[in-house]
């Protein structure tokens, strides 16, 4: 904003050279961006922050100078204007949108003579960057710059029906503003209308159809308070910024509306002649009540780090026009004037004290701070170990959303409680909270397959959201994975080998090993998991508690996601596993000094018997020399009768105390074979 020093001196005497005054204003929060010397006058270019709308006026800047320099502020003396005639003889005014226009004042001057403005007014307007038009329009601009209250003058003869109505339009319409542009008006825009249509866009710009011209003789003067957000919304939408909207957007003084109208009337009578009406219109249904803010001495010290006693704070704030109550019990009440709508909280008052007390008077001190110890999330070490184990198995971590499509959870509905719905979902595909991680991974796999990426190994860790019937909501941490495609993508030797049950089981066992839970793990048939392939799936028990499953996704379920082929999945209750791992102390296993012996065994068993049952028989055969059992072949087809399969294992025998003899190994091996034949009706293949 440009402001003339000569004009400022009409209200306050700075008694400082322009350069020093510029420094004072800048340190006080009104940055002087540029100074220009014009004759004997000095023009300040001020950078006004958006919250200081009151400083978009000469009086506002003068008030700041008076406060900073402890000078007296001389406000214009209100003159009593003798008029003739009544407003009702000229015009009738009504406000139908009181929320958008809480106060509206108007007055009529008859017999004005339009002409050039006096030199002093032209000079002051030019110093502020405004072009002179005529004595009436210039007077509205002059008073606006002086008081910060936008004003407008209508040519009375163009007010149809001799009525002014402040209201919102019922529907869209076109309106030509003073700049000649046609504006598209909508119902949320506030208009000043006459008996037939709009004559001004409230708070933004007047209309072409009611502007003051050289032959105007009677003017209707308007001074109003329009709600800031209404003006801002209209001006932004139309791209129609003006000096008027700039002020209304920031908030003008609702108590100064009539004062500005009287000041405008006085200047027009002085520069354009005429006779004002004896009365005026002032529609003000809700009187302004100053906002009261409590200011505490201890809070001043806490924020600023210095002591400003309440009597001194009272003196500083009073110079700003704030009415302060008597200090009591370390606090005082401050009534904020209407021209400072930016001051609403205690911290705002403290900011005013800081800049007026002087930032240079506040000692520079380093802020004190305490360093809090880093608190790791629960089970972060276990998560890290599990991630490293799965990455070592060739899986890649994926991040899935906590929201899910209800249709993706339907195949698992018999296995899980009903999902928790979202009140305001982003879309129908994200309308419930996920009850398992697997649905999100299958969605990711489906996207990869649709883009011709057929070899996919993904895992994810995250919370699921459960609300058991009649129970409390839970958010346990789960770990899930999906394997699809070739076992060795880059190998030409094994190009036809596809992932199978033992790949997904191996990934789960790698996780168990990373948590130190391998010895407690037991695998059982997953007969109650309808979404898994029967005979190619298993549930995991740790500490006699079910903690997850692994196996091939049922082909019908895979088809739901358009997954062509065998897809293997797992999901673990990782939070339970991590909790169990806390009681397992890491143990060092020394490499045996004695050699081990490996023997292969191939048996024919019923096709419905899973590998875990065979392993269980071997482990429970009573042979203490078994160190490891590894499946290496499963065969069905030529040479094998229907309903049967050939399954082969490598069994490792070892002792930590001695080298085993052939007789010991042969005896142990025969014991295991007899156990398989007895308990599984197995037939040894030779």
Looking at the DSSP assignment, which residues form a beta bridge with residue 45?
Answer: 2, 34
Cα gap 313→355, rounded to integer Å: 12
Mean pLDDT, residues 93-116: 95
Q: pLDDT, tens digit, for every residue of 245-257?
A: 999 999 999 999 9
Q: pLDDT, tens digit, for every residue of 159-183?
A: 999 999 999 999 999 999 998 999 9
Residues 380-581: name the CATH superfamily: Bira Bifunctional Protein; Domain 2 (3.30.930.10)
Please enumerate in sequence order all residues whose Cβ is within 8 A of that of 481, keeping only pairs 6 or more positions apart, or say none.
390, 395, 441, 457, 458, 459, 460, 504, 507, 569, 570, 571
Of the candidates 251, 245, 413, 442, the one whose C-alpha atom is nearest the C-alpha of residue 337 is 251
Structure tokens, 516? 């130190």
CATH number of 87-283: 3.50.40.10
Cβ neighbours of 386 (radius 10 Å): 24
Q: pLDDT, tens digit, for every residue of 204-235?
A: 999 999 999 999 999 999 999 999 999 999 99
Q: Which DSSP letter does residue 116 get?
A: P
The correct CATH number of 597-684 out of 3.30.70.380, 3.40.309.10, 3.50.50.60, 3.40.50.1370 is 3.30.70.380
Cβ-count burial 523-559 (b if 16+ within 10 Å, e if not): bebbeebebbbebbbbbbebeeeebbbbbbbbeebbe
Mean pLDDT, residues 108-136: 94
Of the candidates 266, 284, 282, the one whose C-alpha atom is nearest the C-alpha of residue 274 is 266
Specify the fold of 2-69: Phenylalanyl-tRNA Synthetase; Chain B, domain 1 (3.30.56)
Note the residue count of the chain: 686
pLDDT above 70 as % of the chain? 98
pLDDT value, residue 490: 66
Q: Residue 492 above 70 pLDDT?
A: no
Mean pLDDT, residues 113-125: 95
pLDDT value, residue 620: 87
Cα gap 572→383, rounded to integer Å: 12
Q: pLDDT, tens digit, for every residue of 557-585?
A: 999 999 998 999 999 999 999 999 988 77
Structure tokens, 146? 């002086």
Q: pLDDT, tens digit, for every residue of 641-685?
A: 888 899 999 999 999 888 999 999 999 999 999 999 999 989 898
Structure tokens, 663? 């007789």
Q: Residue 586 above 80 pLDDT?
A: no
Q: Which DSSP letter does residue 589 get?
A: -
Specify the fold of 291-357: Phenylalanyl-tRNA Synthetase; Chain B, domain 1 (3.30.56)
Structure tokens, 29? 């929060």
Answering whether pTM is above 0.85, one says no
Q: Residue 197 above 90 pLDDT?
A: yes
Q: pLDDT, tens digit, for every residue of 84-97?
A: 999 999 999 999 99
Pairing of strands 597-606, 683-684: antiparallel
pLDDT band per the 50, 70, 90 thresholds, residue 495: low
Mean pLDDT, residues 392-407: 92
Indicate the domain borders of the chain: 2-69, 87-283, 291-357, 380-581, 597-684
How far does the chain reach from its first CA to its final CA, in angstroms? Answer: 101
Domain 87-283 and domain 597-684, same fold? Reply is no
Cα gap 683→26, rounded to integer Å: 98
Q: Residue 494 above 70 pLDDT?
A: no
Q: Residue 470 above 80 pLDDT?
A: no
Q: pLDDT, tens digit, for every residue of 12-46?
A: 999 999 999 999 999 988 999 999 999 889 999 99
Are residues 121 and 271 in contact, defined by beta-carbon separation less than 8 angstroms?
A: yes
- Round the average pLDDT of the chain to a whole number and report it: 91
The dihedral sign for the CA sequence 509, 514, 516, 517: negative
pLDDT value, residue 183: 93
Give the CA distances from residue 462 to residues 54, 321, 388, 532, in Å, rounded to whole numbers and listed in that order. 53, 58, 16, 22
pLDDT value, residue 635: 86
Q: Residue 53 above 70 pLDDT?
A: yes
Q: Residue 370 above 90 pLDDT?
A: no
């Amino acid at each position: 904003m440009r402001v003339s020093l000569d004009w400022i001196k009409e209200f306050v005497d700075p008694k400082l050279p322009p350069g020093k005054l510029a420094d004072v204003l800048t340190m006080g929060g009104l940055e002087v961006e540029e100074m220009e010397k014009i004759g004997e006058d000095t023009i300040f270019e001020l950078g006004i922050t958006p919250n200081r709308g009151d400083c978009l006026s000469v009086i506002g800047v003068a008030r700041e100078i008076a406060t900073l320099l402890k000078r007296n502020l001389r406000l214009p003396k209100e003159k009593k204007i003798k008029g003739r005639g009544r407003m009702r003889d000229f015009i009738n005014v009504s406000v139908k949108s009181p929320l958008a226009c809480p106060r509206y004042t108007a007055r009529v001057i008859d017999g004005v003579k339009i002409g050039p403005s006096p030199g002093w007014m032209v000079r002051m307007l030019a110093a502020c960057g405004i072009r002179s038009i005529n004595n009436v329009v210039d007077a509205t601009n002059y008073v606006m710059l002086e008081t910060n209250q936008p004003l407008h003058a209508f040519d009375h003869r163009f007010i149809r029906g001799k009525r002014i109505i402040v209201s919102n339009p019922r529907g869209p319409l076109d309106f030509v503003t003073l700049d000649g542009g046609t504006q598209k008006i909508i119902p949320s825009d506030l208009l000043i209308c006459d008996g037939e249509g709009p004559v001004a866009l409230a708070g933004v710009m007047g209309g072409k159809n009611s502007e003051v011209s050289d032959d105007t003789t009677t003017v209707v003067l308007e001074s109003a308070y329009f709600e800031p957000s209404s003006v801002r919304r209209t001006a932004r939408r139309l791209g129609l910024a003006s000096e008027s909207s700039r002020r209304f957007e920031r908030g003008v003084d609702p108590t100064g509306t009539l004062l500005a109208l009287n000041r405008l009337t006085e200047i027009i009578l002085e520069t354009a002649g005429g006779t004002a009406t004896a009365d005026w219109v002032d529609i003000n249904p809700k009187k302004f009540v100053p906002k009261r803010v409590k200011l505490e001495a201890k809070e001043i010290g806490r924020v600023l780090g210095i002591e400003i006693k309440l009597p001194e704070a009272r003196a500083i704030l009073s110079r700003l026009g704030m009415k302060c109550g008597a200090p009591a019990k370390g606090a005082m009440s401050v009534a904020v004037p209407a021209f400072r709508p930016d001051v609403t909280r205690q911290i705002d008052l403290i900011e005013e004290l800081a800049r007026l007390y002087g930032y240079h008077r506040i000692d520079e001190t380093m802020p004190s701070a305490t360093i809090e110890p880093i608190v790791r999330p629960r089970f972060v070490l276990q998560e890290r170990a599990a991630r490293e184990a799965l990455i070592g198995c060739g899986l890649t971590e994926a991040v899935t959303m906590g929201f899910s499509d209800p249709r993706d959870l339907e195949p698992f509905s018999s296995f899980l409680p009903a999902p928790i719905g979202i009140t305001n979902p982003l879309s129908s595909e994200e309308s419930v909270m996920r009850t398992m991680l697997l649905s999100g991974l299958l969605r990711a796999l489906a996207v990869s397959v649709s883009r011709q990426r057929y070899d996919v190994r993904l895992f994810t860790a995250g919370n699921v959201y459960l609300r058991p019937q009649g129970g409390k909501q839970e958010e346990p941490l789960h770990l899930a994975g999906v394997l699809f495609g070739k076992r060795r993508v880059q190998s030409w030797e094994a190009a036809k080998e596809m992932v199978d049950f033992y790949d997904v089981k191996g990934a789960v066992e790698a996780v168990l090993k990373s948590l130190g839970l391998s010895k407690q793990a037991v695998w059982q048939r997953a007969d109650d998991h309808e979404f898994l392939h029967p005979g190619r799936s298993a549930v995991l028990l740790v500490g006699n508690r079910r903690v997850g499953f692994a196996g091939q996704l049922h082909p019908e379920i895979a088809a739901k996601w358009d997954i062509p082929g065998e897809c293997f999945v797992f999901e673990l209750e990782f939070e339970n596993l991590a909790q169990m791992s806390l009681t397992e102390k890491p143990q060092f296993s020394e490499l045996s000094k004695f050699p081990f012996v490996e023997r292969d065994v191939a048996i024919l068993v019923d096709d419905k018997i899973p590998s875990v049952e065979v392993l269980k028989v071997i482990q429970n055969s009573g042979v203490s020399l078994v160190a490891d059992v590894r499946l290496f072949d499963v065969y069905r087809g030529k040479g094998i009768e229907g309903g049967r399969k050939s399954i082969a294992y490598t069994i490792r025998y070892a002792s930590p105390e001695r080298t085993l003899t052939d007789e010991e190994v042969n005896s142990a091996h025969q014991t295991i074979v007899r156990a398989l034949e007895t308990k599984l009706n197995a037939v040894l293949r030779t």
